[in-house]
Chains A and B, each alone.
Chain A
């Protein structure tokens, strides 16, 4: 008799999801699915709105990475306006996006994943949370809180709000940077460096203790995609997209936002509201790829900042080609946080950073526009069509979590096959299966565009379709 295991809800994620593990008649894992069970509909209700409202509207998709949506949306609007924004505005947006990346990576690493890393996958689930981490490693807890405050405070200084700042608009930003705010950010840098340094040193010390997890946490060859600069360094806000194969060879580059749909397609599966992105020339699902910190570090040739450069060189030693285990997303996240702090310091040293000219203006000059940016969890593309009055007639958003969807599903299956034996699972096994999804730091609300809430469930389903075991959190 075959069975199904359900984990519902999967915990410590941004949003709500469910995992189903199907067993065959021999009680071996046959298949596994990660379901995103929310539905929202931003693309639909944007229709009829003026294009210049889109950045603020679209930022409401997410409370964690609204800045990325703001930026991708504003860039799509600027394509409609046919304007290039002032240099200082571009630099300020870049800083805002980096600040968001640092605070989001801090949330993912310290709040969501460090309980597993600091306390162990099999530790008591009642204390496997931020309180448990603080009790066991108070310095780590303080570093996490400090890094998150660092990113959030910069967002608040620039945009006047920690969440959903309205400062980024089509054409640039609404206000230039004041000298006092620049100095306040500069004063926060030493503590931010100390906090990320502490976390990196600690992580590198404990990572070897997770070799079994590294081996089966979505550890397989795949394609990778991210933005990259002309000098092949990290880029979160501008640049163009590059796709590499499992050996690290470039298979597509120079992908601008407007070319995105030529290269990337989206498939639909009946068990999830999140779409499944794929590289069109290879088709679905062979063209599945990964985005986010692991992809970015696998693709770039250099970090672009001195301290992150050293860490990147060490990271690339983890494999002969691209680093393939998704467990290493954790490591990549910390390196990117270090890069973000360094890059913010570099941006603040730009002599034009206090320039007052920060916004270009224009009306509708094209009836279609697309914009792209790197969100903390991966590439984000906004694509709009408007009528001659600038009202949105069509919108499509391709979100990082959708682009990682196939890899997450494959990763859940790989971990389930490794850990679920004889049709039974313990709490520790359940946690490991969930932890595979956590490595990707998916944002489920972003990916589905959610109506209502659904907690995370893990179900074990027999070959006859009977749910024989279930854990609901």
Chain B
């Protein structure tokens, strides 16, 4: 298992008019939930901000991020998913929604963030994708479960491919 606690979550890179924003979510102290911040840290080393890729990693997605989402051409959301088989990597398109069942104070989903970006700022990224990695455990701990550890190269490669496609205008 990989000691993810050794990798700091990515800090904020003010996105400005980035062509692609990678927006990750997760708690590095809750084992597999830290896969989003881990991928964000990987992306921050892999992609050059000068090339128009920016990275934001947060423990939770809060409503203020709507402004960041509204200001970019494309966005790739990255998160752990407990409703997927552990270690499964999934990439799907995300469409905005205009309502929330939750309280929308401490955490929003990707679709809700897009909806809020449209409602508040009248702007949406041209395309939004969501990369999720199935989690096996969210118990207290800084280590990934074996299926998530095994999925890291797959998730990184899929992220690289997704960013390349978004940057090409797909």
7 interchain residue pairs of minimum CB distance: A111-B105, A134-B119, A130-B104, A149-B64, A148-B64, A129-B104, A145-B64
Question: Does A156 touch B at the CB level, under 8 Å?
Answer: yes
Q: Which B residues touch A12, using CB under 8 A?
A: 103, 105
Complex: A142 Cα to B12 Cα, angstroms: 21
Q: Which B residues touch A186, using CB under 8 A?
A: none
Q: Which A residues touch B100, using CB under 8 A?
A: 129-131
Shortest Cβ gap from B45 to chain A (Å): 18
Count A-side interface residues using an 8 Å CB cutoff: 24
* B116-142 vs A, Cβ < 8 Å mask (1 yes, 0 no): 100111000000000000000000000
A residues within 8 Å of B by Cβ?
Answer: 11-12, 63, 107, 111-112, 126-127, 129-131, 134-135, 138, 141-142, 145, 148-149, 152, 156, 160, 162-163
Some 13 contacts from A to B, beta carbons below 8 A apart, are A63-B59, A111-B105, A127-B99, A129-B100, A130-B104, A131-B98, A134-B119, A135-B98, A138-B119, A142-B120, A152-B64, A162-B12, A162-B58
Closest to A60 in B: B29
Q: Indicate if the CB atoms of B120 and A141 lie closer than 8 Å.
A: yes
Complex: A141 Cα to B62 Cα, angstroms: 13
Apart from A12-B105, A131-B115, list 14 A-B contacts with CB within 8 A: A12-B103, A111-B104, A112-B105, A129-B103, A130-B104, A131-B99, A131-B112, A131-B119, A135-B98, A141-B120, A148-B62, A148-B63, A149-B67, A163-B59
Q: Which A residues touch B119, using CB under 8 A?
A: 131, 134-135, 138, 141
Q: Which A residues touch B116, using CB under 8 A?
A: 130-131, 134
Complex: A107 Cα to B103 Cα, angstroms: 12
Looking at chain B's contact residues, is the secondary structure mostly helix, strand, loop, or mixed? loop
* B80-108 vs A, Cβ < 8 Å mask (1 yes, 0 no): 00000000000000000011100111100
Q: Which A residues touch B106, using CB under 8 A?
A: 63
Q: Which B residues touch A129, using CB under 8 A?
A: 99-100, 103-104
Question: Does B11 touch A at the CB level, under 8 Å?
Answer: yes
- Name the one of B98, B105, B120 contacting A107, with C-beta atoms under 8 angstroms: B105
Q: Indicate if the CB atoms of B99 and A145 lie closer than 8 Å.
A: no
Q: Which B residues touch A135, using CB under 8 A?
A: 98, 119
Q: Which A residues touch B20, using CB under 8 A?
A: none
Complex: A162 Cα to B98 Cα, angstroms: 27
Complex: A454 Cα to B93 Cα, angstroms: 34
Question: Does B66 touch A at the CB level, under 8 Å?
Answer: yes
Q: Which B residues touch A126, using CB under 8 A?
A: 99
Q: Which B residues touch A148, using CB under 8 A?
A: 62-64
**Most chain A Cβ neighbours within 10 Å, of B12, B62, B64, B119:** B64
Closest to A160 in B: B11
B residues within 8 Å of A by Cβ?
Answer: 11-12, 58-59, 62-64, 66-67, 98-100, 103-106, 112, 115-116, 119-121
Closest to A149 in B: B64
Using A131-B116, A152-B64 as known contacts, say yes or no to A11 and B99 having CB atoms under 8 A apart.
no
- Name the one of B11, B12, B59, B63 contacting A130, with C-beta atoms under 8 angstroms: B63
**Most chain B Cβ neighbours within 10 Å, of A129, A131, A162:** A131
Using A129-B104, A131-B104 as known contacts, say yes or no to A111 and B63 having CB atoms under 8 A apart.
yes
Complex: A131 Cα to B96 Cα, angstroms: 12
Q: Which B residues touch A111, using CB under 8 A?
A: 63, 104-105
Q: Indicate if the CB atoms of A11 and B103 lie closer than 8 Å.
A: yes
Shortest Cβ gap from A151 to chain B (Å): 10
- Name the one of A63, A138, A162 contacting B120, with C-beta atoms under 8 angstroms: A138
Complex: A152 Cα to B56 Cα, angstroms: 14
Complex: A152 Cα to B14 Cα, angstroms: 13
Closest to A142 in B: B120
Q: Indicate if the CB atoms of B105 and A145 lie closer than 8 Å.
A: no
Q: Which A residues touch B62, using CB under 8 A?
A: 148
Complex: A111 Cα to B98 Cα, angstroms: 16
Shortest Cβ gap from B150 to chain A (Å): 31
Q: Indicate if the CB atoms of B64 and A134 lie closer than 8 Å.
A: no
Shortest Cβ gap from B100 to chain A (Å): 6
Complex: A63 Cα to B59 Cα, angstroms: 10
Q: Which B residues touch A134, using CB under 8 A?
A: 116, 119-120
Complex: A86 Cα to B155 Cα, angstroms: 48
Complex: A63 Cα to B11 Cα, angstroms: 17
Q: Which A residues touch B99, using CB under 8 A?
A: 126-127, 129, 131
Q: Which B residues touch A11, using CB under 8 A?
A: 103
Shortest Cβ gap from A119 to chain B (Å): 13
Closest to A103 in B: B64
